[in-house]
A and B are shown apart, each in its own frame.
Chain A
Amino acid sequence: MPAITPLLIAQLVIIVVVFHALLLAAAAMVWVERRLAAALQQRLGPIRVGWQGLLQPFADVIKLMFKEELRPKAADAILFALAPIISAACAFAAFAVVPFGAKTTFFGLLDEPMKLQVADVNVAVLVIFGIASMSVYGIVLAGWSSNSKYSLIGGLRSSAQMISYELSYGMALVAVLILGNSLSLTEIVNGQAGYWFGFIPKWFIVLQPLGFLIYMTAGIAETNRAPFDFPEAEQELVAGYHTEYSSMSFAMFFLAEYINMVTVSAVATDLFLGGWHGPFLPESLGWIWFLIKVGALLFFYVWMRWTLPRYRYDQLMAFGWKVLLPASVLNLLATAAGVLYFGL
């Protein structure tokens, strides 16, 4: 057994904090989503529970917890139970490798600085990618095990969609990897420190505007959010793959969706928006910048959902394969050529 050191304790603290922060973030997002939707639709939204309705998410959670756990008779019991767990677990696991701040000693509490990150993996980007590909199973199995037509179609659609957009997602990532010259997210973030001409931050979004667009589009599709929310297209599929789910199982899918949004935004921040680098704040407080950027991206997410109508399914697939994928390949080639010939 390794000795218990301050570093180990700090690491455990970070794990606990991140876990709960994600739970909280999901809760907060529920509130933000509802209030923002209301604002966009010129109504008020939830304001009764707590100040400005801030406690509404908790009320929802309590309600869900006490609801009866329903399971269709013809459903496959094991898989039906397993599916939401896979979804939620993958969502949490992906965030594990995302760094959210510079090395810090916590104001001198530690002897040597440590990274603000649950696990520093040298192939972090690939891990995120791998976990993203695993989260397909949660949805597919939920759809299949429910033994319901709506669920099955929702599950199949969603997995087809996720597999299709995973390619563009990966290509956009690779372009950044080339620029960052590393597979480690920390190093990629550190590669974005400093300024060009003293005022343009060296964020990769400047070099990769197309890559960022592709990443965000694919990211929205990966998280099954509007305008790509086919798995749960209410008008046609009731609620898609989680039609048959209720109570906490349903809550876990819900949780997974919001945490995935946070993860996609956090990764986008690390890859394209310079992570925790920003003006005015010292390096040790960089995580504040990180939170601001992630928040902005999450706002964008919600904004998109309530602004754009849903695509048709064939349009979605055609867009993924015929527009996004070629664009991402071109972006990758252009990036590679740029690095090769101009040493960007």
Chain B
Amino acid sequence: MTLFYLFAAVAVIASLLVIAQRNPIYSVLLLIASFGALSGLYVMLDAPFVAVTQIIVYAGAIMVLFLFVVMLLHAPAEETEHDERVHPLRRPGPMWFGAVLAAALVVELLWALTRAGGGTGAFPAAEVISVRAIGQALFTDYAFQFEVTSILILVAMVGAVILAKREAAKP
């Protein structure tokens, strides 16, 4: 239990800091910490493979990409100076409304959980789902979805290359 609270606390605090930061490079690093905590939670949920994948894919690949972009763009800190000159709906005030909504969502979800009941007992004892079982399901029952995602990745890759490519210097 204590381990759960430790990981949960790390995840929540790190996530909060992610959105509290003005410097995106710290946001990225804190998010990695949050992912690490989530990875620990996955281990506790008997999902070691997801835990490791979380590290390899999220922390090791996606976040490196973010870090790269932050470095490439020289991580400009957030600009606030033109707030006064913009449309009223775009000022920071209305944006805090979004945060209020987020809080409302948490309340609603908690309410839903209490109303639904159940889910309060410990998890039923079960074998750790092996990598073999996951692989088997992935390549049989979910084979179509797997292929679709691979096409998605391919498309995204081509799209990213084209979008990020510098246009050739015009003669």
Interface, chain A (partner B; CB < 8 A): 76, 79, 121-123, 126-127, 129-131, 133-134, 136-137, 140-141, 144, 152, 156, 159, 163, 166, 183
Contacts and interface: CB of A to CB of B under 8 A. Distances in A.
Chain B interface size, as a band, is 10 to 19
A133 B55 contact: yes
Contacts of B67: 137, 140, 144, 159
A134 B55 contact: yes
Contacts of A131: 55
Interface stretch (B57-65, B93-101, B109-117, B159-167): B57-65
Contacts of A122: 48
A123 B56 CA distance: 13
Q: Is the interface of B mostly helix, strand, loop or mixed?
A: helix
A144 B71 CA distance: 7
Contacts of A156: 68, 71
Nearest to B59: A134
Contacts of B71: 140, 144, 152, 156
Given A137-B32, A144-B25, A123 B52 contact: yes
Contacts of A152: 71
A140 B67 CA distance: 8
A126 B42 CA distance: 15
A163 B55 contact: no
A1 B68 CA distance: 44
Interface string B1-28: 0000000000000000000000001000
8 contacts: A76-B25, A79-B25, A130-B60, A140-B71, A141-B29, A144-B67, A144-B71, A183-B131
A163 B61 CA distance: 8
Most chain A CB neighbours (cut-off 10 Å) among B25, B49, B56, B59: B56
Contacts of A137: 29, 32, 64, 67
A122 B128 CA distance: 11
Closest 4 CB pairs of A and B: A133-B60, A130-B55, A126-B52, A130-B56
A46 to B, nearest CB: 38
Contact of A134 (B25, B48, B60): B60
Interface of B: 25, 29, 32, 48-49, 52-53, 55-56, 59-61, 64, 67-68, 71, 131
A163 B49 contact: no
Contacts of A79: 25, 29
A121 B48 contact: yes
Contacts of B64: 133, 136-137, 140, 159, 163
Contacts of A163: 61, 64
B120 to A, nearest CB: 28
Given A133-B55, A156-B68, A126 B49 contact: yes
Nearest to A130: B55
Contacts of A144: 25, 67, 71
Nearest to A152: B71
Contact of B56 (A121, A126, A159): A126
A301 B68 CA distance: 30
A133 B131 contact: no
